[in-house]
Amino acid sequence: MSDAIKVLIVEDDPNICDLLQLYLEKEGYRVFLSYDGEEGLAQYYDGNPDFVILDIMLPKMDGWEVCREIRNDRNIPVLMLTGKGESYDKVKGLELGADDYVVKPFESKEIIARMKAILRRTNPHLKTQKNIELTQLLINMKEFKVYRRSKDINLPPKELELLYFLASQPNQVFTRQQLLEKIWGFDYEGDVRTIDVHIKRIREKLGDELPHWSLKTIRGVGYKFEVNLGV
């Protein structure tokens, strides 16, 4: 059991916590529960979990702030729960670095399916992929990190996956829908604006582009990672 994936659930509804704990433990996960944001963040630092399921509406500290603190610390998969269906909640969660979101009410099997999909994307198979080395840019998939001018750039898993996918196929244009299917999976039902949010965040964190490479917007189509080997 010591090698089991540790999941921290931060949710103020005890019934939801108990139900998720039951299903997740049946799947072999180690589960830790917290019922407010402050306690959840304390458990995150103390327990060093591998995955966080995080409600938005929490006592003492809301899920937005908890997610922000987690993202400032390290890259760990975060699945957000929301009782609202507004796109604002979804977009804000993605901007803060959440990997996915589920709207209440939900079925426990949906949570597990989304968790497994996220873990497949962020765990071992990505670490076997080749590193990408360009002028002042290194995407190291063994460490699951990005370096710009030798400085470690903190990209959440989804942003790193998106950057790696585009950079591994230089000068090829992908539509937003294609990128959603490649990174989020064919069963993802989110808005294509998800891609725009992530591209914006990646650009902000990488800083000024170089003539050697750039993350280009192809108006009306999508995006490409442009590499100019002649520069």
Residue 92 is predicted with a pLDDT of: 67
Q: Mean pLDDT, the chain, as a whole number? A: 83
Name which of 227, 193, 195 is nearest 213 in CA terms.
227
How do beta strands 213-218 and 174-175 pair? unpaired
Confidence of residue 20 (pLDDT cuts 50, 70, 90): very high
- Centre a 10 Å sphere on the Cβ of residue 113 and count the other Cβ atoms it contains: 13
Confidence of residue 217 (pLDDT cuts 50, 70, 90): very high
- Centre a 10 Å sphere on the Cβ of residue 174 and count the other Cβ atoms it contains: 21
Cα–Cα separations (whole angstroms), residue 222 to 14, 57, 172, 173: 43, 34, 10, 7
**Domains identified in the chain and CATH numbers:** 6-122 (3.40.50.2300), 125-227 (1.10.10.10)
Residue 125 is predicted with a pLDDT of: 43
Task: Please compute the mean of the pLDDT values over residues 44-70 and round it to a whole number.
Answer: 91
